[in-house]
Structure 1
Amino acid sequence: MAQGSSRGGRKQPRLGAGSGVLDMRLTPADRPTGGAVKRPAAKTTKSRPRTASGGKPATPKRTAGSSPPKGPQGPRGGGGRRRKPVRKGRKTRRIGLGRLVRRGAYWSAVLGIWAVIAVVGVLGYYAAHLPPTSEWQVPQRPPNVRIVSADGTLMANRGDTGGEAVRLEQLPPYLPQAVIAIEDRRFRSHPGLDPIGLARAMVTNLTSGRLVQGGSTLTQQLAKNLFLQPDRTLKRKVQEAILAIWLEATYSKDEILEMYLNRVYFGAGAYGVDAAARRYFGKSARMVNLAEAATIAGLLKAPSRYAPTRNPDLADERAGTVLMAMAEEGYITAAEARDAIAAPTRVVTHHTSASENYVADWVMDLLPGYVGAIDQDITVSTTIDLGQQIVAEDALRRALAEDGAKRGVKQGAVVTLDGSGAVKALVGGRDYATSQFNRAVNAHRQPGSAFKPFVYLAALESGLTPDTVRVDEPIRFGKWAPRNYSKSYQGPVTLARALALSLNTVAARLAHEVGPRHVIRTARRLGITSPLAANLSLSLGTSEVTPLEIAAAYVPFSNGGYGVVPHVIRSIRGSDGTLLYSRTGGGPGRVIEPGLLASMNAMMADTLTIGTGRKAQLTDRPAGGKTGTSQDFRDGWFIGYTGSLTTAVWLGNDDNSPTKRATGGSLPAKIWKEVMSAAHQGLPVAGLPGVRTHPLQVAKPTTAVPVPASRDQAEGDPERRRLAPMEGGSRSLLDRIFGG
């Protein structure tokens, strides 16, 4: 092959001049400059840096295949120009530091730009998962149902919030100030996000090694409560920030603060400051003092942990922290903070156990039938008399506390109605906090002998009279042989005496004579609505009824013979005062003929004077009623009435277990007397309808019946309880009745 030839014009490497060795040295033409620097002649002598002695160092002889010499003439030396060495010293260090600063600034700017791009990208990504801004709107606050007594006193709030919506200007100024001081001190100045607070929280959390502080503003917390789920994710935090900025751009600071105060959770089912104030202090948020406001604000960090009802010491400590924060921000003086810390707060302990909650729950069950769906705050005015309600609850609780264990009784219910069927008091159990089941309305229990008045009324309607005689003796109807409670028999007795002594054989004989279906029709006409079995044992009260319905069925005996529909709602108004419902009309009309009514009332009065209900006898007015004891002493009843009111008392056990021989004439009669004595204070004496003359035995008891002071005295709350009709509470009431 010819040495200089090539295919396609390609040059072949040439050997050195006669050396036989391939020359691989870089030339200026091989550099990126494309040969801008001329290649020196092969024989030119290169300059060398001098040695310390002034001489020139020897040029190393390069052999074939050796590397080019290092230094200014080497591959990195540049085209023949000699690089001066950098001398060490102060100038060198100054040049190195400046270069470091410039590089740091450059890379910081680069990283900052990329960080902004990343943040914008994240914001854009998660913002894309939100609805269009045109659809953003603050959801309506869940409606509150304000339930008040007959005199307008608040009994309970119901709904998802547990309190009313209050305007910011209606609150004492220190309440929102307490929230701002402890939760978001820069609330008035930040645009929805607080970088300073966020940075401080991050530092605190990192140094402590755990989550101690949160960097969320009040606006962020509101955005989370209004629009988002309470999950701890990056998506939620980003969306929370976006929505917080939107809220700040859409609403004023006062509007945001008002929405926050009315919606934030304070524990125990209370949403909003009004619900919290009523839950923990039994008063409206409009009436809280400085110490109470600090306690409410302190709940926001951890509602369960700092609840004054659960951890009063922690709650006080947290309230002190809030007060000091308020002083630091200038909302209050240091002296005011010290005074508030020293002032004890009076926490309501009966809120969740009060019997009014049974009434409130019943009202909520009834509301859809009156106004349909609730889409606004409403006020429900009830027929409840708070004075009677308190006495009924206290009487039941005390009787069970004193004698319940001895009698094997754990639960009870009390219902009081007036002559129109309006419910004046309703106690659905011993303690609402322990059990929310409303036994007065929903418990179906055997009434025992308390059902007998319907049997006797059916007998009178069939032509018999109170003086009709029947023989009290062992009797059998097929396989059923009723027996008297006393296991003894009276022989021939009048119907009046048989009812007063509650003789089972006579009641069964009457049911057999008139027929069970006649008895059922009579009971239905008076107001019994539960299913009734058409058999002879019905006469002894084996078919179950509720305390409310049997009390309503006794009302015609007291009001002149007219049937009633038991009711607790008088009127319903919207938040603007619009009347949504008002009760009108009455009941089914006359259900007992006047002559028969007089006979029944005369017989029922004998029950309290000579019969099984003697412990229930009132000392200042005539009354009638009937005891009831179901099979195996599972239920004890006393249902009685005057010319003004009717009350039913039931005692028993939720699991239907037998009591320890608790009869209707024992504890139930005792409770009934206490309730009715208090309820009639101040009412004129009214005779029983149709009974013109009746022997009234008045005997003062040796000791007054003890009744606890009213709850407003016990709890120190001027708003929650007003016993104006009772003038001084239930204790002075009974003292006046009994002369004690």
Structure 2
Amino acid sequence: MYAKPIELSPAASLSVAARIMRLFSSLLFLLVCLAAAGAIHFWASLPNVANLADPQTSITISVRDWEGQEQPFSLGPQNPDWTPLEAFPEHLPWAVVVAEDGAFYKHHGIDLQALHEALIYDLQQQRMARGASTITQQLAKNLYLSREKTVLRKLREAVIAWRIENSLSKERILELYLNLVELGPMVHGITAGTRYHLDKPVTKLSSAESAFLAAILPGPRIAFNPRKRPERVAERAKKLLYFMQLRRVLEGPQYELATREVDIITGIAPRPVVQPAQHTPMNLLYEVGQRPPWQLPLATS
């Protein structure tokens, strides 16, 4: 037997619509509350970076050695290798800025253009293949975060970098970065890296040697390890010298001499024999064919 559909009165229809709207509003309110709680928790979990502004501050952080073990590292004047920014040769900070973050003095912790390019590249590769991290972001990661490549970690890195930029001067950020960067197995900081790779004081670095050290920074373990890939390091160091010349950090003759010196530093070309009485930017007192200090075999105990 055919049953006629029940027709709701206008009042009943309005009642159903009102209940649906109330349910939708309640769900929306709940989502807003959850988002707000998550944001508050996220912000509260971020480290306090204000203490980094004090030049007398030393902090102990955890760094990972080349065997994957966590090791303590002191960043600050308590570390005997700590070097104030003004003690570095002028071309050294510029070599690092050119190598790692050409827009360092223009951005506020995040390079939006580089980030946009990295996002496009990552989408094309369907993985997080390109970091686009500024010097400030790298400092934030090395001080407070793990090496995992996740969206949440990158978000924390960006927010911490923004907080660092709002609490510290550019000079202080660069000073901390130069004393923390990895240049070898448990070799952190430019001063320790200079001793490890070149066996000399950091104050005696030439422009070519500065470019050499800066060229190692993206991957001292494998990609730009000068013991394993000297040609690749030399090629990158020469590119850095070229950009340093464009920024007028180097003049033409200095650039040409430094470019030739890079091949000697990396062992691609033999070291010339120069008499002590001669004083040139390439006054390197080594016998022809002698290997650079970093190419000598490591001492075994």
Which bin holds the TM-score, normalised by the shorter protein? 0.5 to 0.7
Map 1:400-419 → 2, pairs under 5 A: none
The correspondence for 2:228, drawn from 292, 298, 310, is 310
The correspondence for 2:218, drawn from 286, 301, 325, is 301
Q: Does 1:276 align with 2:174?
A: no
Structure 2 Cα separation of the partners of residues 199 and 247 of structure 1: 22
Map 1:569-584 → 2, pairs under 5 A: none
What is the aligned length? Answer: 223
Map 1:608-647 → 2, pairs under 5 A: none
Map 1:584-595 → 2, pairs under 5 A: none
CA distance 1:180–1:258, shift in 2 (3 Å): same
Q: 1:316: Cα distance to partner?
A: 0.8
Unmatched segments (≥5 aa) in structure 2:
1-9, 11-33, 62-71, 267-291
Map 1:646-661 → 2, pairs under 5 A: none
Deviations 1:653-710 (A, max 9, x none): xxxxxxxxxxxxxxxxxxxxxxxxxxxxxxxxxxxxxxxxxxxxxxxxxxxxxxxxxx
CA distance 1:211–1:323, shift in 2 (3 Å): farther
Could you tell me whether the CA contact under 8 Å between 1:270 and 1:279 is conserved in 2?
Answer: yes
Amino acid of the structure 2 residue aligned with 1:271: H
Deviations 1:325-365 (A, max 9, x none): 32343433455333322122163147773xxxxxxxxxxxx
The correspondence for 2:256, drawn from 338, 351, 356, is 338
Q: Does 1:170 align with 2:87?
A: yes
Amino acid of the structure 1 residue aligned with 2:179: N
The correspondence for 1:244, drawn from 152, 161, 165, is 161
Query: The residue matched to 1:216 in structure 2 has which SS?
Result: coil
CA distance 1:350–1:295, shift in 2 (3 Å): closer
Structure 1 Cα separation of the partners of residues 149 and 80 of structure 2: 28
The correspondence for 1:130, drawn from 26, 46, 51, is 46
CA distance 1:142–1:276, shift in 2 (3 Å): farther
Query: The residue matched to 1:266 in structure 2 has which SS?
Result: strand
Match of 2:106 in 1: 189
Map 1:45-60 → 2, pairs under 5 A: none
Structure 1 Cα separation of the partners of residues 165 and 122 of structure 2: 27
In our comparison, the structure showing a higher alpha carbon Rg is: 1
Structure 2 Cα separation of the partners of residues 189 and 176 of structure 1: 16
Deviations 1:273-319 (A, max 9, x none): 01111111001221111111111111111112212222211211121
The correspondence for 1:322, drawn from 200, 221, 240, is 240
Match of 2:203 in 1: 286
Could you tell me whether the CA contact under 8 Å between 1:191 and 1:245 is conserved in 2?
Answer: yes
Q: Does 1:348 align with 2:293?
A: yes
Q: Please give the root-mean-square deviation of Cα atoms over the aligned residues, in Å.
A: 3.2
Q: 1:175: Cα distance to partner?
A: 0.7
Map 1:719-734 → 2, pairs under 5 A: none
Map 1:381-420 → 2, pairs under 5 A: none
Query: The residue matched to 2:132 in structure 1 has which SS?
Result: coil
Structure 1 Cα separation of the partners of residues 162 and 175 of structure 2: 17
Q: 1:232: Cα distance to partner?
A: 1.8
CA distance 1:120–1:253, shift in 2 (3 Å): farther
Would you tell me which structure has more strand in proportion to its own residues? 1
Could you tell me whether the CA contact under 8 Å between 1:327 and 1:333 is conserved in 2?
Answer: yes
Structure 2 Cα separation of the partners of residues 129 and 310 of structure 1: 40
Could you tell me whether the CA contact under 8 Å between 2:215 and 2:237 is conserved in 1?
Answer: yes
Deviations 1:57-93 (A, max 9, x none): xxxxxxxxxxxxxxxxxxxxxxxxxxxxxxxxxxxxx
Could you tell me whether the CA contact under 8 Å between 1:163 and 1:275 is conserved in 2?
Answer: no
Could you tell me whether the CA contact under 8 Å between 2:50 and 2:167 is conserved in 1?
Answer: no
Match of 1:256 in 2: 173
Structure 2 Cα separation of the partners of residues 195 and 183 of structure 1: 15
Amino acid of the structure 2 residue aligned with 1:348: P
Structure 2 Cα separation of the partners of residues 212 and 335 of structure 1: 38
Amino acid of the structure 1 residue aligned with 2:232: L
The correspondence for 1:140, drawn from 54, 58, 74, is 58
CA distance 1:348–1:328, shift in 2 (3 Å): same
Structure 2 Cα separation of the partners of residues 199 and 348 of structure 1: 41
Amino acid of the structure 2 residue aligned with 1:338: E
Unmatched segments (≥5 aa) in structure 1:
1-29, 31-117, 144-158, 354-431, 437-740
Amino acid of the structure 2 residue aligned with 1:266: L
CA distance 1:327–1:223, shift in 2 (3 Å): same
Q: 1:207: Cα distance to partner?
A: 5.0
Could you tell me whether the CA contact under 8 Å between 1:191 and 1:248 is conserved in 2?
Answer: yes
Structure 1-normalised TM-score?
A: 0.28
Structure 2 Cα separation of the partners of residues 229 and 291 of structure 1: 33
Amino acid of the structure 2 residue aligned with 1:128: A
Structure 2 Cα separation of the partners of residues 289 and 233 of structure 1: 39
Structure 1 Cα separation of the partners of residues 106 and 36 of structure 2: 24
Would you tell me which structure has more helix in proportion to its own residues? 2
Match of 1:457 in 2: none
Q: 1:204: Cα distance to partner?
A: 4.0
Structure 2 Cα separation of the partners of residues 326 and 119 of structure 1: 46
Map 1:474-623 → 2, pairs under 5 A: none
Question: Runs in 1 of length 4+ with deviation above 6 angstroms?
Answer: 118-122
CA distance 1:119–1:335, shift in 2 (3 Å): farther
Could you tell me whether the CA contact under 8 Å between 2:178 and 2:190 is conserved in 1?
Answer: yes
| Structure with larger RCO (C-alpha < 8 A, sep 6+) | 2
Q: 1:195: Cα distance to partner?
A: 0.8
Match of 1:612 in 2: none
Query: The residue matched to 1:196 in structure 2 has which SS?
Result: helix
